[in-house]
Amino acid sequence: MGRHSCYKQKLRKGLWSPEEDEKLLRHITKFGHGCWSSIPKQAGLQRCGKSCRLRWINYLRPDLKRGTFSQEEENLIIELHSVLGNRWSQIAAQLPGRTDNEIKNLWNSCLKKKLRQRGIDPVTHKPLSEAENGEDGNKVQPKSDESSRKTDNNGSSKDIFESTIGANSQACDLVCHFQMQQLNYAPAANARLSSTHWFTETSKAFDINTELSSSSMMSTLLPPLTSAFVSDNPPIAGTYGSRYWGTSASANNNSNNNSNSTSTIAEPQGNNNSIFDNNSFSWGLMETQAEETKWSEYLNNPLLMAAALQNQTPQSLYNLEIKTEPYLFTTTSSSSNSMLAQIQDHHQQQQQQQQVVPLQNSDICGKDMQRVTAAFGQGRTQDFRLGGTNL
């Protein structure tokens, strides 16, 4: 079988620089991504297509929801994991704006630990004592090994579900009923973003694409756009939480920066830590100041975001085929140059305006800190304390 050799070629590896991000973003903004393997050349990047794809999916995509995971999201991940196991992409499909990588990291670094602290085995989702005994032959064990990946490549979880749960209907009834009750709110929010299956309370998988395609179904099932699930933890779209290549050593040269970066923080505003209220920026879609004030609404709502990007109403998006890629932005009147300039200018302004307050010990909750890096701002970083995790 052909093996990717991109990592073995003389291509750049490691962290992405702001310049590389800019090139990639600019290119995809203009042309969409189309064939990933040709993008590096077209965009003037010394990266392999795979790396570009990853960067886009995990970081540059405009519909990404950044910031800490809300309680609802964490709970949903746990529930989904109990059914799907380590099928991160399928789990991510149910969490709009979250990437599989992000969820995987959260699981490995945080949720697993929390479950253990609760006395729950993160693999079996059973009480640890019971899991350790490992006696029963009737366990609903999420498949997390290699074999579990041998499913259809369309993101369908039907067969998985049937094999893991359907084959064990007795356990399934218990598990599913519980889970479906808790998950009932989720499908609608996710239906528009994922091409996957959802489950009914009878444990039967149904194809969300087909079954939700009728407008009546959609109107019945779709929650208000401001559902807690989506809005509890506002996305920091448009801001970037990434280490850039060279960031730590050379990039912290902005005026706000000092050698002890932990000594100051940007004060979270309100319960929702509306960081993006201060740090949102336009993607070149909204030209006026008045329009910019609406931005947080867009950030709160991936649908609105997508609609804005595609010059479509949210309503029309409901009826779109779910697949959101390839992203082909409408450039409207803004060239990508002005868009990027706008991003930079906006961040500079925000940084100047930002109120910096001394860090209180009470603000720190372990490592519940979200590092938000201003994109395209010469790699400078800015720390924000977000609310502690709640599990």
The conformational region for residue 384 under phi > 0 = left, psi -120 to 50 = alpha, else beta, is beta
Q: How far is the CB of 270 from DNA (least distance, A)?
A: 20
**What CA–CA distance (Å, rounded) separates 162 from 157?**
8
Binding residues for DNA, rule CB under 7 A, total: 65
As given in the structure block, the two tokens for residue 327 are: 């992203």
Of 25, 29, 51, 140, which lies in the binding site for DNA, with binding defined by CB under 7 A? 51
Q: How far is the CB of 59 from DNA (least distance, A)?
A: 5
Largest CA distance in the chain: 65
Q: How far is the CB of 145 from DNA (least distance, A)?
A: 7
77 residue type, one letter: I
What's the Cα-to-Cα distance from 174 to each of 58, 82, 83, rounded to whole Å? Answer: 35, 13, 12
**324 interacts with DNA by CB under 7 A:** no
**What CA–CA distance (Å, rounded) separates 244 from 119?**
38
CA atoms within 13 A on the CB side of 214: 4
**Contact pattern from residue 114 through residue 153 relative to DNA, giving x for each residue in contact according to CB under 7 A and a dash for the rest:** ------------------------------xxx--xx-xx
**261 interacts with DNA by CB under 7 A:** yes
Strand (E) or helix (H) holding 20: helix 18-31
Q: How far is the CB of 348 from DNA (least distance, A)?
A: 20
Strand (E) or helix (H) holding 382: strand 381-385
**243 interacts with DNA by CB under 7 A:** yes
Nearest alpha-carbon partner for 197 in 147, 238, 161: 161
**229 interacts with DNA by CB under 7 A:** no
Beta bridge partners of 371: 383
Stretch that binds DNA, among 33-41, 216-224, 309-317, 335-343 (CB under 7 A): 33-41
Q: How far is the CB of 63 from DNA (least distance, A)?
A: 15
**348 interacts with DNA by CB under 7 A:** no
Q: How far is the CB of 203 from DNA (least distance, A)?
A: 21
Stretch that binds DNA, among 31-39, 116-124, 268-276, 334-342 (CB under 7 A): 31-39
What's the Cα-to-Cα distance from 26 to each of 20, 63, 126, 332, 376, rounded to whole Å? Answer: 10, 16, 48, 14, 12
**248 interacts with DNA by CB under 7 A:** yes
Q: Which is nearer to DNA, 116 or 177 (CB)?
A: 116
Q: Which is nearer to DNA, 89 or 338 (CB)?
A: 89
36 residue type, one letter: W
As given in the structure block, the two tokens for residue 139 are: 């366990």
CA atoms within 13 A on the CB side of 221: 24
Of 70, 334, 381, 382, which lies in the binding site for DNA, with binding defined by CB under 7 A? 381
**14 interacts with DNA by CB under 7 A:** yes
Stretch that binds DNA, among 13-21, 179-187, 296-304, 343-351 (CB under 7 A): 13-21
Task: Burial-class residue 162 by CB neighbours within 10 Å (0-12, 13-18, 19+).
Answer: middle
Residue that is written with structure tokens 């074999």 in the block: 147
DSSP three-state, residue 262: helix
**Contact pattern from residue 96 through residue 115 relative to DNA, giving x for each residue in contact according to CB under 7 A and a dash for the rest:** ----xxx-xxx-xxx--x--
**250 interacts with DNA by CB under 7 A:** no
Beta bridge partners of 266: 356, 384
Q: How far is the CB of 69 from DNA (least distance, A)?
A: 8
**Contact pattern from residue 52 through residue 91 relative to DNA, giving x for each residue in contact according to CB under 7 A and a dash for the rest:** -xxx--xx--------x-----------------xxxxx-
Q: How far is the CB of 158 from DNA (least distance, A)?
A: 13
Nearest alpha-carbon partner for 386 in 271, 260, 297, 277: 271
Q: Which residues bind DNA (CB under 7 A)?
A: 1-4, 7-8, 12-16, 34-37, 49-51, 53-55, 58-59, 68, 86-90, 100-102, 104-106, 108-110, 113, 144-146, 149-150, 152-153, 155, 241-243, 247-248, 252, 261-262, 325, 364, 366-371, 381, 383
